[in-house]
Amino acid sequence: MNPAEAVALVTGANKGLGKEIARQLGAQGVFVLLGARDRERGQRAEAELKGQGLKVQYVPLDVVDPQSVEQAAQQVDKQFGRLDILVNNAGIALDWFPPSELDTEALKKTYETNVFGVFRVTKAMLPLLKRSKAGRIVNMSSALGSLAFHTDGMFKDANRLLAYCSSKAALNAITVAFAKELRNTSIKVNSANPGYTATDMNQNQGPKTVEQGARTPVRLALLGDDGPTGGNFSDEGVVPW
């Protein structure tokens, strides 16, 4: 659909990749709702992007809080009556150590945001996405969520971040399941891998800039009707599950 007529919601849009995805979508003319759990941080991002001439609006949204998610869905419904693009971007990484040092609470906390949060927001927004001419759901995944890379690829010898990596593998399963359920609709659901990008999540260690990291999620958010669904993509192409 014409980006200038589209309405998008990006979760965790107050900084990092989420804010840059919002900026790049906004630059294409999309009206972008900036989901953020903290009012001040959300409003600051809104002011910054509005200052660049973009159509954006802060929406209170804590993905782990069912009431907050429901209220955000009600607000989008009231204001627009539909949603064209959902980018499930909000995520956390807590366990920068081997699996044996991970405790169940940190595992649960990670899943609460990266898995249950994505599922909760997707379910709440689905009725609105079904009213779009061409709904797009982009789930922010990671190469670290690829079991193929862990067993026989670039992470064969790495063994940290069990909670984070497995949460992204579960998120990929959510992508596949919703894509299958929605395959006879105009909604497309894909996982996006930004690549290792300098943000607060990794103390700005990643070699990619947010401008570069946002490219694949933005491309998937603006996919044409002939684009794929149920896939896992990076700038380099298809990422193995």
Q: Residue-wise over 120-151: b if at least 16 C-beta within 10 A, else e?
A: bbbebbbebbeebebbbbbbbbbbbbbeebbe
Q: Which of residues 117-176 bind ligand NAP (CB under 6 A)?
A: 117, 140, 142
Name the residue among 62, 173, 171, 66 with its Cα closest to residue 114.
171
79-115 burial code (b ≥16 CB/10 A, e <16): ebebbbbbbbbbbbbebeeeeeebeeebbebbbebbb
Among 27, 201, 227, 230, indicate the residue that binds ligand NAP (CB under 6 A). 201
> Is 191 an interacting residue with respect to ligand NAP (CB under 6 A)?
no
Q: Which residues pair with 192 in a beta bridge?
A: 140, 233
Q: How far is the CB of 203 from ligand NAP (least distance, A)?
A: 10
Catalytic residue among 58, 111, 164, 196: 164
Question: 85 or 134: whose CB is closer to ligand NAP?
Answer: 85
Residues 105, 157, 200, 226: which binds ligand NAP (CB under 6 A)?
200
164 is catalytic: yes
Residues 40-99 within binding reach of ligand NAP (CB under 6 A): 41, 61-64, 89-92
Q: What are the catalytic residues? A: 164
Q: Which residues bind ligand NAP (CB under 6 A)?
A: 11-12, 14-18, 37-38, 41, 61-64, 89-92, 113, 117, 140, 142, 194, 196-197, 199-202, 206
